[in-house]
Structure 1
Amino acid sequence: MHNLGLSYKYSSEYVQAENTLIEAIAVWEKLRVGLEDRESYRISLFETQNITYQALQQVRVAIQKYPEALEAAEQGRARAFVALLSSKLSRDSLQINPKLREPSVKVQDLQNIARNQNITIVSYSFIKQETIGSNQLALSSGDIYVWVISPKGLITFRKLDVYRWELEHKKLLLSIIEELQRNLSKPNGRIPNPPPTLSPEQLDNIPDELKSLYDLLIKPIEEFLPSDPNAQVVFVPHNALFLIPFAALRDQSGRYLIEKHTISYAPSIQILEYTERLRLAPKGKNFLIVGNPTEDLSQAEQEARDISNLQKTEAIIGKEATKQAILAKIADAQIIHLAAHGTFDSEHGLDSAIALANNKLTATDILQLNLKAKSVVLSACNTAKGKVTSDGVIGLSRAFILAGTPSIVVSLWSVPDAETSQLMVNFYQNMQSSSDRAKALRNAMLATMKSYPHPRNWAAFTLIGSRD
């Protein structure tokens, strides 16, 4: 059915192509039934099936059925993630033997999420080319579709001109994203000695990728973004776009996106509905604040002490922060803050971990937990990373949400020690006057930017999920 649908597509017989691809997807979804307790199998199978969802998007875009193309894009991402969250919430609601299934996707439901949460949603779909000639830049990385859903539910669509953009920059998009990561990342993680503050002249030249990515990803849709900097904008990246720090993208005047908007993220639009339901579930009573378990990050230790003072609680510091000690307290914590070293595994995402005094707390460990936290902050390196799949990033952030956390703050690269500590303490200070985490993180970024203007020092952290 998939191949027949492609044949219709290449013959420009789009109605037949759409109907046939819809039939193919119905078969794919039946094949995923029975893998309820085997998430890795579901994700692996979904990877092989995802080209059908992408083909359906392309067909619907060709016949200008843009809202329906968004529906197909949402169907083609985070399906195992959504099914697992749906199952967890059903169990928590005391439903007997809930059937683990992938909830249906309807355009009206996606619009209602934007309306009910009063947010602007920006959803990207990165449809990569299957093959790219080694010496032929003309064969671009692929197509990028972007939809903007306003707080009133209005849907706007744009197809981004990746081909022309890559010709102009003489590099593929994926190569530019990799270069950006290298330019922003510290080689050894949280480093005690910060680099000198850059002059405005130096800052204007570093890194150029932030302006070029703004031109590609934001400029075509900026007129549809809210003018009020306090209005919430939720980005739903896709594929390699998960690795882009949208907050640090710069327009041609030099303004960062975070200066113009309050930003958070989600693996899919539907996930926003489930994290909102997680937010309303009963929460724990205690605080779990951990600092410098490996005893080589003095600023991380001070960060934990400062935050525990703000919260009027005690932090677990240094060698006391063993895996056993953390697991004994984590289940009943309403706030979890881990200031430590982080590692990620791009092949086996569930091996991504936080380093504790005597062991690692891995994503696999977290999936076994039933958490009552309203927020988790992983003040460590690379905690937003893992294995990038069509089902999202398999790693620590996904594990914490599946364990029951509606809101998590994680990092996109190896962050410096002193600057990160300043940002985190400022974040919790902001939280004392407002429960809005997205606004608190934005204000913390803006404050840290004044002291340490290079984006590597303030732009690594992203808020995923619920903003309150």
Structure 2
Amino acid sequence: MVSSAAVLLDSQPRIAEDLSIVVARAGNAQASEKAETEQIASAVGTDRVTTLSGKDAALGNLEEQARGKSVVHFSSKLPLLEANPLRSVLPILSDGVDGQSVKVTADQLCGTKMASDLIVWSASSVNSKDVRGNAVKVFSRGLSYAGARNVLMSLWTQPESNRIDEIVNFYKSKQSGLGSAQSLRKAQLAALSRDRSPRTWAAFQLLGPGN
């Protein structure tokens, strides 16, 4: 008999059936982050994408806006600490004492409730010595505790145009009904056809059941 936990992991949640995305980015977002958000919205439809920037992307509001969304997407750069990735400072803020914004660490994000089908960090990166991507594994495990069924993260910084093309193609496939694993494979094959260097197409790692 299959355990109830396995059934929960293998069964696709209802929110995954309809693609709805909340995109969070830093207030001082770079042009590439804005371009990424705009191209995602153009690909899947602006009505499916909620964009939060600066104070609007503060942890409390982000948690609220993520309710019922199938995807939570972070477009800002995130270099993960190798020694303790959960202490990495995120490019989002939290409301502190007297309304002052304070920095948020990865463990704080993992302590929220984000029961989404997928959480994406499209511009995360790890230390070049972390060849196994252990920092990504630790952080993604924390995000699963927050409620994420799947986590998609990058292991290194890609050329901006390559990253945006790959993530947009990923979402196009998601919108057509493919699961996360199939969508990533299709996006990677498209990127591979343009440039065979793994540096330009193999950065993304998906953790989770993938359907």
- Which residue in 2 is equivalent to 1:307? 40
2:64 pairs with one of 289, 308, 328: 328
Secondary structure at the counterpart of residue 356 of structure 1: strand
Residue identity in the other structure for 1:322: A
One-letter code aligned to 1:356: I
The unaligned stretches of length 5 or more in structure 2 are 94-100
**Would the alpha carbon gap of residues 409 and 273 (structure 1) be closer, same or farther in structure 2, given more than 3 Å must change?**
same
- Which letter maps to 1:370? K
Look up the SS of the partner of 1:333 in the other structure.
Answer: coil
Counterpart CA distance in 2 for 1:456 and 1:444 is 14
Matches within 5 A, 1:46-61: none
User: Aligned with 1:435: secondary structure?
Assistant: coil
1:32-431 map, 5 Å: 273=6, 276=9, 279-280=11-12, 283=15, 287-291=21-25, 293-296=27-30, 298-309=31-42, 310-311=44-45, 312-316=47-51, 318-319=53-54, 321-324=56-59, 325-356=61-92, 360-382=103-125, 388=134, 393-395=137-139, 397-431=140-174
Distance 2:62 2:168 in 1: 21
1:433 pairs with 176, 188, 204, which one? 176
Greater relative contact order (CA < 8 Å, ≥ 6 in sequence):
2
CA 353–333 in structure 1, closer or farther in 2 if over 3 Å, else same: farther
Whole-angstrom CA distance in 1 between matches of 2:90 and 2:72: 13
Question: Quick one: distance in 1 between partners of 2:152 and 2:37?
Answer: 15
- State percent identity of aligned pairs: 20
Tell me how large the CA RMSD over aligned residues is.
Answer: 3.4
Summarize the Cα distance change of 1:451–1:280 in structure 2 as closer, same or farther, 3 Å threshold: closer
TM-score, normalization by structure 1: 0.37
CA contact (8 A) 2:86 2:106 kept: yes
Asked if the contact 2:71–2:118 (Cα under 8 Å) also holds between the matched residues in 1, the reply is yes
Distance 1:426 1:459 in 2: 14
Q: Secondary structure at the match of 2:41?
A: helix
Equivalent AA in structure 1 for residue 147 of structure 2: G
Letter in 2 for 1:422: D
Q: Deviations over 1:336-361 (max 9, x none)?
A: 11111112112222113431377654
Counterpart-to-counterpart distance in 2, 1:288 and 1:427: 16
Equivalent residues of 1:376, 1:405 under 8 A apart: yes
Q: Are 1:383 and 1:410, in contact at CA under 8 Å, matched by a contact in 2? A: no
Tell me the CA shift for residue 403 of structure 1. Answer: 1.1
1:455 aligns with 2:198: yes
| Paired residue secondary structure (1:424) | helix
Structure 1 residues 304 and 366: alpha-carbon distance in aligned structure 2, compared to 1, 3 A threshold: same
Residues in 2 aligned to 1:276 and 1:451: alpha-carbon distance in whole angstroms: 34
User: What is the letter of the counterpart of residue 418 of structure 1?
Assistant: S
Moved more, 409-418 or 305-314: 305-314
Structure 1 residue ranges without an equivalent (≥5): 1-108, 114-271
How far residue 293 of structure 1 moved from its aligned partner, in angstroms, is 4.1
Q: Which amino acid aligns with 1:341?
A: K
